[in-house]
Structure 1
Amino acid sequence: MGTRHLYLARHGAADAFGELTAAGRRQANLLGERLARVPVTAVWHSPLPRAVASAHELARHVPHAVLAEAPELVDHVPHVPAPAETPAPWVGFFDGYDDAEASAGRRTADALVARFASAPDPVVHGTADVHEVLVTHDYPVAWLVRHAMDAPEARWLGLSSANAALTVIEYRTSLPPTLVQFNDMAHLPVELRWTGFPGPARP
């Protein structure tokens, strides 16, 4: 049976209007250079402009891969925890989040997992491996990592990904997912790491 290799990436840095900045384009290109080493079969992206632009920059380095939109990758809150399981610093984040919004986010999260978080279909792919890049947003990456680790649903909170950082998950038939790496920024120079994240310096 083949293995599905998912290469998850948050879009490059964007401005206040959600458009990719010059730094974001450089980040996406550097990630593309790194991914040029692997046999990428598809680059899927969120419909939001910052992810679309990042995917197009990245895809220049994997010209034989299919480039297409996947609506499941849109920015969304995948799970609104119950008050008792919400860490105190996050309580304000969910203020005013109504049931309809929470349900819509959960439907998107479930569709994301159903579409991408599984081993390749042997009817479609035979025994071949599949290598897919997902250019998405912070929260969908966190949700897929949480799902791979079979962690409690509220544990997606606080799993932050830097712009154009690389997370890799592998899926094999009859085995639990393997989290190969998370938030890897080895391809980015120091000045392009942790864009948009306040706080102390990171190693």
Structure 2
Amino acid sequence: MARTLLYLARHGEQDQTASDADGGLSPLGREQADRLGRRLAAVTFSQVHHSPLARAVQTTDVLARHLLRVARHPCGLVADRTPVPSAARRDQYPERWLSWLDGVPAQERDEDAAALRGAVEHFGVTGEVDRCELLVTHNFVIGWFVSQVLQTPVWRWIGLNSVNCGLTIVKWESGQSPEVVAFNDTGHL
């Protein structure tokens, strides 16, 4: 029976003083990433996939000091995205969230979660052998994965908030329903 474990980690705290909207990590963010790296050092990952945004890249760079010889690469599947309903699916979301969703910037909008659904389909599968991978990503991406594993209503990713460098683990096992092993674990912080 093959098993897939995905460790989903939110990037470290972003530097809010940076002039660039895609600023890197703050000093606290680097410390958070180092603590997460020490926590994950004993896990045998086959690879690390990270968002291409600076805060995720820099988090991964810090983690790499603890995850020796683990291949890592930028991955568009775990880029910062916000699922927003298309006009035809607005009725699937509570009214109270619609004005907030309407204000999501164009570069972050993922209509009907098409890209995020693709990410879950890509990563959330089992193969012939066990697999353990780390995804360094963003809050809403993690919330989407968890809501899909739990088979919640389409909008329920809202409010599943992960702290910076919080750790979520989801599992797929042949012949069984997927499960959330841990959500937003912060014991290392």
TM-score by length of 1: 0.81
Partner of 1:196: none
- Give the Cα separation in 1 of the matches to 2:171 and 2:101: 32
The correspondence of residues 185-200 of structure 1 with structure 2, limited to 5 A, is 185-188=186-189
What is the CA-CA distance between 1:55 and the residue it aligns to?
Answer: 0.9
| Residues 41 and 66, structure 1, Cα contact 8 Å, conserved in 2 | yes
The CA deviation string for residues 22-69 of structure 1, in whole angstroms up to 9 with x for no partner, is: 110110111111011211221110011100110111121111211111
The correspondence of residues 157-172 of structure 1 with structure 2, limited to 5 A, is 157-172=158-173
Matched, 1:90 2:97: yes
What is the CA-CA distance between 1:90 and the residue it aligns to?
Answer: 2.2
What is the CA-CA distance between 1:97 and the residue it aligns to?
Answer: 5.8
| Residues 41 and 64, structure 1, Cα contact 8 Å, conserved in 2 | no
Query: Which is richer in strand?
Result: 2
Unaligned runs of 5+ in 1: 189-203
1:149 aligned partner, one-letter code:
L
| Residues 47 and 69, structure 1, Cα contact 8 Å, conserved in 2 | yes
What is the CA-CA distance between 1:107 and the residue it aligns to?
Answer: 2.4
2:175 aligned partner, one-letter code:
S
The CA deviation string for residues 6-34 of structure 1, in whole angstroms up to 9 with x for no partner, is: 11011000023331111101101111110
Q: CA RMSD in A?
A: 2.2
1:155 is paired with a residue of what secondary structure? Answer: coil
For the structure 1 residues 99 and 161, does the alpha-carbon distance in structure 2 shift closer, same or farther, using more than 3 Å as the test? closer
1:153 is paired with a residue of what secondary structure? Answer: coil
For the structure 1 residues 46 and 97, does the alpha-carbon distance in structure 2 shift closer, same or farther, using more than 3 Å as the test? closer
| Residues 79 and 153, structure 1, Cα contact 8 Å, conserved in 2 | no
What is the CA-CA distance between 1:114 and the residue it aligns to?
Answer: 1.7
For the structure 1 residues 170 and 91, does the alpha-carbon distance in structure 2 shift closer, same or farther, using more than 3 Å as the test? same
TM-score by length of 2: 0.87
| Residues 43 and 59, structure 1, Cα contact 8 Å, conserved in 2 | no
| Residues 78 and 119, structure 2, Cα contact 8 Å, conserved in 1 | yes
| Residues 46 and 71, structure 2, Cα contact 8 Å, conserved in 1 | yes
| Residues 110 and 116, structure 2, Cα contact 8 Å, conserved in 1 | no
The CA deviation string for residues 94-140 of structure 1, in whole angstroms up to 9 with x for no partner, is: 2256999443x622112211211122x21xxxx3x211110000010
